[in-house]
Amino acid sequence: MTSSLFSVAVVLFAGSAAAAPFAGGSANLETRGSNWMNQWHPDAKGYVDYGFNSTFGIGWDNATQIRLAYRGCDGMSVSFSTNNRQDTPQVRYGLNSSNLKYTETSPVSITYASSPKYENHVVLEGSSPTPNYYQICDGPVHSFTTARCAGDMTPYSAAVVVDLGTMGQYGLLPSASSSAYNSSQMNTIQRLVAQADDYDFVAQPGDFAYADYWVKEQSGGTSNLTIQDQMLAYNIINEAFFDEISAFSSQKAFMVGVGNHEANCINGGSGAYGEDICVPGLTNFTQYKARWNMPGDGSASNNFWYSFDVGMTHYVVFNTETDLPPPYYGGDVIGGHDGMFEANVGAYPNAQIDFIVNDLASVDRKKTPWVVALGHRPWYSATAPANLFTPGISVFEPVFTKYNVDLVMQGHNHILTRTFPVWKNGTVQQYNYTEPQAPVYMVNGAAGHWSGLDPVYTPFPDWVGFANNTMYSYSKLTFHNSTHLTHAFMNSANNAVIDEVTIVKTH
């Protein structure tokens, strides 16, 4: 089934010079590696046997890392991780926390090479648009609210983040010298938890844990890394991320899209290391495919492109990393921008674009007057021109313009950018937001990339209405009615509005 109505939080990050979680260099690397191995129960040789569906973490079999996702307006997908395979993953649920009288089960308990976990996916159907309570195995009771149904014109907000990243010891650390994030301030994950009453759901189109950067950016290309070292570092960072987000993703739907850091274990390779240091489970988006359960028809591409409705809004998630129609290339496939070797996921080369065109052509704007597109790499952003995803201008822009997409949310660059309504290869359609005829683009890759924020590139092109790279941020979308939509870049540190604009549009 498809998804529904809610407030959405989307986080986009991009970073450059904040606190580095790990100092580079082989000496530090070895120290860290040694500590991690002790932490994660190495064998007599000092290696962790992740392996390949091994018994990593025996005795810790409680369900963790809960991720909810909308399924229409009366259902919810409940995904969770366990240390062992579950014969029949099970979720109990109901409207009364002390009487969970319904039970849903699933045959889906899967893993991938190198993972310490099994990913379990259960879909609950027939839920009410009131708070629903649920329990996995014998764990704590949580609650969720299903999406507002399409056509429900009740005002709501959503949160959007991109490039969120792992926080703390294995990711973005506070810095005493940073005005953007010091130890007295909240990071974006903490902020999303604190403000959970302010939005219906969270969306993140790409770049989650940044676990792949460990080898590329910390080894300096000189360390004598082994595959075991790599798996250890990757998994510790990755597990930390999924543990952290569970604080909000266990109570709010978390609708995701794919980014370049989901592609493989090393983000294309660095120094002496190429993608061949990655075990198969850490190539070809294998982890991303296993961990999430987005709406769709059950095909392999479901987590890569799909759509869902929440109240007065239709959302379409698109994929800049693979599956662009010839002669263009997704960013992570052979021939693409990043020199990676990942594979397309669609049944045929035009599968993604055909889906998006058919999806947008069938939107009932009386029910869902607003249309928001969510994807990873931007083609309009206050970054260096070399960082722009130029195929997007040929592949996606004409479709979004033709079908009257109102707002496009992206990240990848660790900065904030708000454009004016823009179309036709960078032509500003108008310099205000009243009755725009072209999409407005927002880049918010400033959610929490592990090494900080990126530079903004000046002079700004004339389509840039606002840009900033001094604060960590999430985006808050507020749908007031069929004619007024407010986008705000929110400062994660204090929840103050950094920049706000209201699009006024008669649909």
Residue nearest to Fe ion (CB): 412
From the CB of 9, what's the least distance to Fe ion, in Å?
18
Binding site for Fe ion (CB under 5 A): 207, 259-260, 412
From the CB of 462, what's the least distance to Fe ion, in Å?
25
Nearest alpha carbon to residue 404 among 426, 419, 421, 418: 421
Closest to Fe ion by CB, 412 or 476: 412
Distance CA 235, CA 282 (A): 10
From the CB of 320, what's the least distance to Fe ion, in Å?
9
From the CB of 382, what's the least distance to Fe ion, in Å?
16
299 backbone dihedrals φ, ψ, rounded to 5° = -80, 165
Sign of the torsion angle spanned by Cα atoms 37, 40, 44, 47:
negative
From the CB of 417, what's the least distance to Fe ion, in Å?
14
First to last CA, the chain: 27
Nearest alpha carbon to residue 394 among 426, 442, 347: 426
Closest to Fe ion by CB, 92 or 449: 449
Residue pair 264/274 in contact (Cβ under 8 Å)? The answer is no
The side-by-side arrangement of strands in the sheet containing 90-94 is 102-105, 90-94, 132-136, 141-144
Q: Determine the 3-state secondary structure of 28 from DSSP.
A: helix
Per-residue DSSP letters for 71-138?
A: ETBTEEEEEEEESS--SS-EEEEESBTTB--EEEE-S-EE--TT-SSEEEEEEE-S--SS-EEEEETT
From the CB of 411, what's the least distance to Fe ion, in Å?
7
From the CB of 232, what's the least distance to Fe ion, in Å?
24
Closest to Fe ion by CB, 121 or 412: 412
Closest to Fe ion by CB, 13 or 50: 13
- 103 Cα distance to chain centroid: 29
Closest to Fe ion by CB, 83 or 287: 287
Closest to Fe ion by CB, 207 or 342: 207
- Environment class of 284 (CB within 10 Å of its CB; exposed 0-12, middle 13-18, buried 19+): buried
Residue pair 165/14 in contact (Cβ under 8 Å)? The answer is no
Closest to Fe ion by CB, 148 or 412: 412
How many Cα neighbours within 13 Å face the side chain of 29? 21
| Beta-strand relationship, 440-444 and 484-491 | unpaired
Closest to Fe ion by CB, 4 or 260: 260
Residue pair 291/119 in contact (Cβ under 8 Å)? The answer is yes
From the CB of 338, what's the least distance to Fe ion, in Å?
9
| Beta-strand relationship, 8-11 and 156-161 | parallel
Distance CA 411, CA 11 (A): 8
Indicate the residue type of 5: L
Closest to Fe ion by CB, 207 or 454: 207
From the CB of 207, what's the least distance to Fe ion, in Å?
4
Closest to Fe ion by CB, 47 or 328: 328
Distance CA 458, CA 426 (A): 16
From the CB of 12, what's the least distance to Fe ion, in Å?
9
Closest to Fe ion by CB, 135 or 260: 260
The continuous run of DSSP H or E covering 257 comes out as strand 254-257
From the CB of 360, what's the least distance to Fe ion, in Å?
24
From the CB of 261, what's the least distance to Fe ion, in Å?
6
Closest to Fe ion by CB, 259 or 452: 259
Residue pair 163/414 in contact (Cβ under 8 Å)? The answer is yes
**CB-based contacts of 327: which residues, under 8 Å, 6+ apart?**
none
